[in-house]
Amino acid sequence: MIAIKKPVKNLVFLTGFFICVTLLVACGASNDSAIISGQTMGTTYHISLSNNPAKHDIAAIKEGVEQRLSAVNQSFSTYIDSSEVSTLNQYTGGEGQVKSAAFIQVLAEAQNISFLTEGAYDITVGPLVNLWGFGPDFSEDDIPQADNISQAIKKVGYTNIIFDRVTQQVKKLIPELYMDFSSIAKGYGVDTIAEYIESQGFNDYMVEIGGEMRLRGSNPEGTQWRIAIEKPDPTTRSIQRIIKLSDTAVATSGDYRNFFIKDGVRFSHTIDPTTGSPVRHSLASVTVLAPTSMTADAWATAFMVLGPKKGYDLAMKNNLSVLFIVKEKDEYKELMTPQFQQFFKDKAA
């Protein structure tokens, strides 16, 4: 995804890097606009503050942001051995383990989307993600053996997690259960930062982590934020569509950035829990708009698992605002739910 202020020269790419960030100031932005950026969750984050009503010290705001991002990582990163998720993954007993309110909140949303997608979306897919080399352990780009896949599938299943919102206890029904929050933690991080900067009096902002984004109010020029959805082509970076947005979160999932190629076949990092293997269908990318980034992020991965047909039907059933980009021969075709179409009609550039 790409956020745009004006035609091409102000392009701000949001799938991991910024182009022309400095132009935000150079192109007539209000003079108390600011950009905060850094690294988190194995990717980059960017915050664009269109103005600074409370005249905060931006360095102090950045410190507040970094502290909160560390806390999110300390809950959800499988790359940190002492994180809340890692300690639960390592735990093989049958007792309920008390987790933070944040952990329970994100787990509840993940479980809800698993339920609505009948398990196509499933954070217990971790053993398969690791087996296919997309997890925290380094691995060669290799196709796993069939019996290793069937062994790993036995450890997967969201119904093997029980949790209680009041006691904040999480119970694993099988000892090997391994949770992977990669498909939702970036979104939750975006929400956490958005809420923090709102609490500091910023009402016009864009927050983005690794392409997951949340926007409010207007851009530094005082007009609506413009987001460009990338053409899902692994070989180039170009724009598929531009939309004007504010007061929403937006997430894009695709098979065009994180994958490996073996013997001419491209293997995506989205795993179908029923087959135990990366998904293989014509859906190249999905863009979801939702009130929170956590929800948009998780649904985007869910739709990548479901594919265009089942995904579209489910998006309709749940009144979601979704754009599917399907690859047909060498062309990219769009399929939008009426909610997305409506939005586009009203507010498109």
Binding interface with ligand ADP (CB under 6 A): 121-123, 125, 129, 134, 180, 182-183, 186, 211, 253-254, 269-271, 273, 297, 300-301, 305
Q: Would you count residue 204 as binding Mg ion (CB under 5 A)? A: no
- Whole-number minimum distance, CB 29 to ligand ADP, in Å? 29
Closest residue to Mg ion, judged by C-beta, is: 297
Q: How far is the CB of 80 from ligand ADP (least distance, A)?
A: 15
Among 109, 230, 272, 297, binds Mg ion (CB under 5 A): 297
232 binds, among Mg ion, ligand ADP, none (CB under 5 to 8 A by kind): none
Distance of closest approach, residue 37 Cβ to ligand ADP, in angstroms:
19
Complex with ligand ADP: residue 118 or 313, whichever CB lies closer: 118
123 or 193, CB closer to ligand ADP? 123
208-267 binders of Mg ion (CB under 5 A): 253
Residue 55 CA to residue 202 CA, distance in Å, equals 10
142 or 198, CB closer to ligand ADP? Answer: 142
Whose Cβ is closer to ligand ADP: residue 121's or residue 205's?
121
Closest approach, Cβ 14 to Mg ion, in A, equals 13
Judged by the rule CB under 5 A, the positions of this chain that interact with Mg ion are: 253, 297, 300-301
